[in-house]
Structure 1
Amino acid sequence: MTDGTGLSPISDVDWPEDIADLLPGFAGALNVYRTMAHHPALLRAWCDLREHVVNQTALGRQRAEIVILRTGVRLASEYEWSQHVLRARSFGLDDTRIASIGGEVDGMAAEDAILAQAVDDLFDVKRLSRQNRDALTALAGVHGVLDLMATVGFYSTLGFILNSFAVPLDADAGLALEKAPLKSL
C-alpha cells in the first residue's frame, strides 16, 4: 500500500472491486488515478468532473493544455508537467510554445500569456484580476473563464496528490520523453 513516501499506485491485482469498471479506462491508465484509487468513492465521484474538464472544456484542447501546464509549473509538479508536455504535443503545440509556458508571461504568445496570467492570478491573488478576466472572457467566453477555473482547481487537486505521495511518472511517459525530450527555448 505504501512505499515509504506515501500511497503507491494500486496494481491491477489489488484494484478495489467496487471500482473494477474504472480499471480499463482512464483510472487504470495513469499512476495518479491508481493512487487516488485508495479512496474508491472519491475516484468514482471524480469521473464526471474529469470528463468535463478533460474532454468537454469550452477552452478547447490546446488552451486547456496551456492552463494545465502552467498549473503544473505553479505546483512544481514534474509528473503533471511531463504528462502534459506529451498531451500538448499530441494536440499540436510545438516544443518552443510548450517550453515558454514554464517561463515568464511576457515571453509567451499573446493568447498563452492571457491563459497563463489567469492561472498565476488564481495562485497569487486567489481571483482573476478585472483586466485579465476581461481579456479571458474576450478570448474564451464566460464558459471558458469558468472552465479555466475548474481546470486549475482540478489539476491542483491532482498536483497535491502527486506531490504529497511522490507518485512516479508513468513508465510510458518517461520513455516517450527520454526519446524526445522537450527542446528548451
Structure 2
Amino acid sequence: MTPRLTPLAAEHWDERARESLRGKVSLADRYLSGAPDAPRMPNVLGVLGHHAELAGAWLSYNGALLERSALDPRHRELVILRVAWRTRSAYEWAQHALIGSRAGLTDERIEAVAHGPDAPVWSPLERVLLTAVDQLLDRHGLDDGTWAELVRHFDPRRTLELLFVAGSYLCLALVFNSVGLQLDPDMALPPTLPRPDTEERP
C-alpha cells in the first residue's frame, strides 16, 4: 500500500528524538551519527521518530521482550510470525522471518507458520504456542485447555511474557498496517517463503 506516514530520515530528527533512541536500540548512535558509513535508518524507527516520547518508552519496553527475554528466541519468533501472518503485516513478517532464521527456525518452519497449528512439522509445544496466538487474536483470551497445556511447559514468568509478546506485536502490526510501513531495502524474503500481504485472510 502507499505509505501514509513517511519515515523520518535521521537528518531530520531533533535532539529530543535522538536522545529517545540512544541506548534503546543496538546501533542507535550509528543510525543518527551522520557519518558516511552510518547504516540506513530502518523504516520502523523512522516512523517512531515522529513521536519521540512514545518512541523512547516503546523501545525500552520492546527491548525487554527481544534482548532480555525469558522465552527461547525460537518460541518468541514463532509467536511473532503467527501474529504477523494473521494480521497480514508484511513488514513484521519480513523482519521476523529474518530474526527467526537467525534464532534457528528453518525455512520449513517459517513457511509452516502460514498453515497454523495443524501443520505436521510442529512439536506439541510449538503447536500450543500457535494455538495460543490464534485464540488471543480470535477471542482475546485463552481457553482452559490451551492455558493448561501452556503452563505444563512454561513457568509463570514465561507464560506472562508470551501473552505480552503476542499483544505487543499485534499492536505493532496494527500500526505498521495503518501507516503503510514499507519494507526496508534489505528485507528481501527468500522466494520459497510466503508473503502475508499477498494471501487471503484465514
Q: 1:183: how far off?
A: 4.6
Residue 182 of structure 2 is aligned to residue 172 of structure 1 = no
Match of 1:42 in 2: 54
Q: In angstroms, what is the RMSD of aligned CA positions?
A: 2.1
Give the equivalent residue in structure 2 for 1:16: 14
Matched, 1:113 2:113: no
Which one is further off, 37-46 or 132-141?
132-141
CA-CA distance at 1:111 after TM superposition = 2.1
List structure 1 segments (4+ residues) > 4 angstroms apart after TM superposition. 26-29
> Cα–Cα, structure 1 residues 48 and 183, in superposed 2: closer, same or farther, change >3 Å?
closer
Say yes or no: does 1:104 pair with 2:116. yes
Q: Could you tell me how far 1:119 is from its partner in structure 2?
A: 0.6
- The answer to whether residue 191 in structure 2 is matched with residue 181 in structure 1 is yes
Pair 1:134 & 2:148 matched: yes
Deviates more, 1:19-28 or 1:97-106: 19-28
Q: Would you say how many aligned residue pairs link Structure 1 and Structure 2?
A: 178
Residues 59-99 of structure 1: per-residue CA shift (max 9 Å, x gap)? 12110000000010111101111111111111111111111
Cross-structure match for 1:162: 176
What is the alpha-carbon distance in structure 2 between the residues aligned to residue 95 and residue 63 of structure 1? 15
Alignment match, 2:102? 90
Residue 121 of structure 1 and its aligned partner are, at CA, apart by 0.8
Distance 1:130 1:183 in 2: 33
* CA shift in 2, pair 1:183/1:36, >3 Å: closer
Q: Is the contact between residue 15 and residue 23 of structure 1 (CA under 8 Å) also seen in structure 2?
A: no
Alignment match, 2:38: none
TM superposition score normalised by structure 1: 0.88
Conserved in 1, the CA contact under 8 Å of 2:110 and 2:193?
Answer: no
Aligned 8 A contact 1:73 1:102 in 2: yes
**Pick from 59, 70, 88: which aligns with 2:71?**
59
- Unaligned 5+ runs, structure 2: 32-40, 195-202
| Preserved contact between residue 72 and residue 159 of structure 1 (Cα < 8 Å) | yes
| 3-state SS in 2 of match to 1:168 | coil
> Using the alignment, how far apart are the partners of 2:192 and 2:168 within structure 1?
25
111-120 or 25-34: bigger deviation: 25-34
Contact 2:116-2:130 at 8 Å conserved across structures: no
Q: Is the 8 A contact 1:7 1:35 kept in 2?
A: yes
- Percent of pairs identical after alignment? 31
